[in-house]
Structure 1
Amino acid sequence: MSAPIVIQRPSLTGGRRVTIRGQIAGLARDDRDVVEFLRRAGLPDADDMLDQPSWVEWRGGRAHRYEAA
């Protein structure tokens, strides 16, 4: 089973697309954006989830990096 939160590889212009349970939540430019998307999705303690592989899958590039690819 894959993680319910997927943070895609950095885009060519910077930022990473975030999906939550298969739905696009938005384009994150930093971890604060990801936490806000998760809060809006009903996950208020999201700060603690970003480094838990059972919750978050970071695709392409290094985790927590949002610079252009």
Structure 2
Amino acid sequence: MDGAPVVVHRPRGSGGRRVTVRGQIIGLAHSDRDLVEFLRQSGLDETTAEDAEDMVAGDSAMIEWRGGRSHLYEAA
């Protein structure tokens, strides 16, 4: 696998960040809570809610943050 399977793209002008898992769009996150829920629902290696929370909070190598600081969802 090349790169992280989860990509959180740059903040949009209206706020929120597009989230993709293995190249497929899974939603528009407006907070870490949204991101955790998307990861849990994605079925990514049978991710549980606790696993997803740990991945987001711990800045896991499974998540690539593009075009802005991690955990920020508002446009600059």
Q: TM-score, normalised by structure 2?
A: 0.84
Q: TM-score, normalised by structure 1?
A: 0.92
Identity %: 63
Structure 1 residue aligned with 2:27: 26
Q: How many aligned residue pairs are there?
A: 68
Deviation at 1:47, TM superposition (A): 1.0
Deviations 1:43-63 (A, max 9, x none): 21111112012x000001100
RMSD: 0.9
Structure 1 residue aligned with 2:65: 58
Deviation at 1:41, TM superposition (A): 1.1
Which structure shows the bigger proportion of residues in helix conformation? 2
Radius of gyration: which is bigger? Answer: 2
Structure 2 residue aligned with 1:47: 53
- Structure 1: which 5+ residue stretches go unaligned? none
What residue identity is the alignment partner of 1:52?
A: S
Hey, what's the Cα distance between the residues in 2 that align with 1:13 and 1:32?
18
Which stretches of structure 1, 4 residues or more, deviate above 6 A after TM superposition? none
